[in-house]
């Protein structure tokens, strides 16, 4: 198993004197991200180049390697401070024999020390509840840096930037219950206290983070409520895994190409049915296609997971129904006994196991059987695709300029019919077998 090389700390955002001053001035005593502790607080700021192009040959090199220097250096610094609940580097990990290369990890610490879910699992959209745990309650020492687009379209880094409360900064913080080395959280507009629901602006930010990283081993993931998100405060997760995820190796078949050059394909020969989005003439084209699809799923109360892969070039969208099956008593006791909640990482093929016996007995067949329970049926999946494509098409039409109402309606119907016909052809030709 390959390991990410550890790197020395580049800087520290822990301002000892400022923390002491804040404590002297009052506050809650936890140096948190709330009004009681934010006045005068500073954190590093990484400003990325907000280029609209997917690739740019004239792009200037950043002042240092983003992930290897800043993110990993700061993450290591928090390890030294003892801010994590356990040492994830001590967890046993192996690649399971088989064609897919599922990865198994024994992580007993995460099972015992992870925060419990505090909300309903049968509703994808739920209002933010400030009385429950949210990321404004974390200590400022858990925040690695602010992550924002540059005002002058050049990469810049400020080691001591004030926190602009009015602008509600997006921040990168450690996951105190990590799954892998470098496990962090991207929290868009943290002070707005947004519930766990994707919007266009937040997904574009996540996509920029993946692109800015330029590291194929660094992926971002998202879990909706009902798909094993455990905190109802908008966030993405990210970490390094120095091998391909099995889902990244699965074959796909193109369904359609939408406005902006975004190609949408169906995943084949994989236990969980899903869609892959790639291409696009601009970053925003790809981002809009995915976020429109996510918003559609949210509005229809369909739980889902998202994996941002290949340095932001590919995005996997995976509707799922495992929690629903659990509630209906349709999951076998054998699978329930593993206590594995299949969120984005597990669905992608990184199986985080909580019991030694499951780790020792891990096999491709067992991983496949668990993930097959996560997937929508073929019939339901095709219905969901039609719903998604209708939503995307309507969004594209509404953005079109120079069309009258009658023209919009006519084009809308033609596009949806064409997409629906394409989906049915794919469904007939390529049934995913479990």
- Supply the residues annotated as catalytic: 235
Stated length of the chain: 434
Nearest CA-CA partner of 49 in 60, 39, 34: 60
User: How far is Cα 354 from Cα 339, in angstroms, rounded to an integer?
Assistant: 7
Two structure tokens written together for 55: 């690739």
Any residues with CB less than 8 A from the CB of 200 and at least 6 apart, and which? 287, 288, 291, 292
Helix axes 405-429, 378-399, angle to 10 degrees: 150
Q: What is the DSSP letter of 290?
A: H
CA trace torsion 77, 89, 82, 64 (10° rounding):
10
Query: Angle at CA 425, nearest 5°, toward 424 and 426?
Result: 90
Residue 7's H or E segment, with its range, is none
Residue 149's H or E segment, with its range, is strand 143-149
- As a whole number of Å, the end-to-end CA separation of the chain is 28
Edge-to-edge strands, sheet with 350-353? 93-95, 103-106, 350-353
With beta carbons less than 8 A apart as the criterion, state whether 183 and 167 touch.
Answer: no
User: How far is Cα 107 from Cα 93, in angstroms, rounded to an integer?
Assistant: 9
User: How far is Cα 254 from Cα 388, in angstroms, rounded to an integer?
Assistant: 15
* Residue 309 three-state SS: strand
Q: 2, exposed or middle or buried, with CB in 10 Å at 0-12, 13-18, 19+?
A: exposed
Half-sphere exposure of 130 (CA within 13 A, CB side): 7
User: How far is Cα 135 from Cα 287, in angstroms, rounded to an integer?
Assistant: 25
Q: Which residues pair with 216 in a beta bridge?
A: none
Nearest CA-CA partner of 27 in 19, 37, 39, 14: 37
Residue 234's H or E segment, with its range, is none
With beta carbons less than 8 A apart as the criterion, state whether 199 and 291 touch.
Answer: yes
């Amino acid at each position: 198993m390959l390991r990410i090389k550890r790197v020395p700390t580049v800087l520290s955002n822990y301002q000892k004197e400022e923390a002491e001053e804040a404590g002297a001035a009052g506050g809650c005593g936890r140096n948190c991200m709330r009004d009681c502790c934010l006045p005068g607080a500073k954190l590093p700021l990484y400003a990325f180049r907000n280029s609209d192009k997917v690739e740019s040959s004239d792009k200037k090199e950043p002042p240092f390697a983003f992930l290897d220097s800043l993110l990993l250096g700061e993450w290591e610094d928090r390890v030294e401070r003892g801010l994590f609940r356990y040492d994830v580097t001590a967890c046993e990990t192996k690649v399971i024999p088989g064609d897919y290369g599922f990865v198994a990890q024994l992580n007993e610490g995460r099972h015992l020390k992870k925060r419990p879910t505090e909300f309903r699992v049968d509703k994808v959209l739920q209002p933010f509840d400030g009385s429950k745990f949210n990321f404004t309650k974390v200590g400022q020492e858990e925040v690695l840096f602010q992550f924002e687009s540059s005002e002058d379209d050049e990469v810049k880094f400020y080691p001591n930037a004030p926190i602009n409360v009015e602008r509600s900064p997006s921040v990168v913080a450690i996951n105190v219950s990590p799954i892998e080395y470098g496990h962090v959280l991207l929290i868009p507009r943290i002070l707005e206290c947004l519930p766990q629901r994707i919007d266009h602006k937040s997904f574009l930010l996540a996509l920029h983070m993946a692109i800015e990283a330029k590291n194929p081993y660094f992926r971002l993931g998202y879990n909706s409520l009902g798909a094993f998100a455990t905190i109802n405060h908008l966030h993405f997760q990210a970490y390094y895994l120095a091998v391909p995820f099995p889902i990244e190796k699965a074959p796909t078949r193109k369904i359609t190409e939408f406005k902006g050059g975004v190609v949408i394909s169906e995943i084949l020969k994989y236990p969980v049915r899903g869609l892959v989005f790639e291409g696009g003439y601009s970053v925003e084209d790809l981002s809009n296609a995915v976020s429109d699809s996510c918003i559609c799923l949210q509005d229809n109360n369909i739980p889902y997971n998202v994996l941002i892969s290949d340095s932001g070039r590919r995005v996997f969208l995976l509707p799922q129904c495992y929690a629903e099956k659990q509630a209906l008593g349709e999951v076998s006791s054998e699978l329930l006994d593993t206590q594995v909640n299949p969120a984005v990482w597990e669905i992608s093929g990184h199986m985080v196991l909580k019991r030694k016996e499951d780790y020792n007995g891990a096999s491709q067949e067992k991983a496949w059987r668990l993930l097959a329970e996560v997937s929508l049926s073929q019939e339901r999946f095709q219905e969901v695709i039609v719903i998604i494509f209708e939503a995307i098409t309507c969004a594209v039409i509404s953005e079109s300029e120079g069309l009258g109402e009658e023209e919009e309606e006519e084009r809308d119907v033609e596009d949806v019919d064409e997409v629906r016909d394409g989906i049915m052809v794919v469904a007939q030709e390529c049934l995913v077998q479990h």
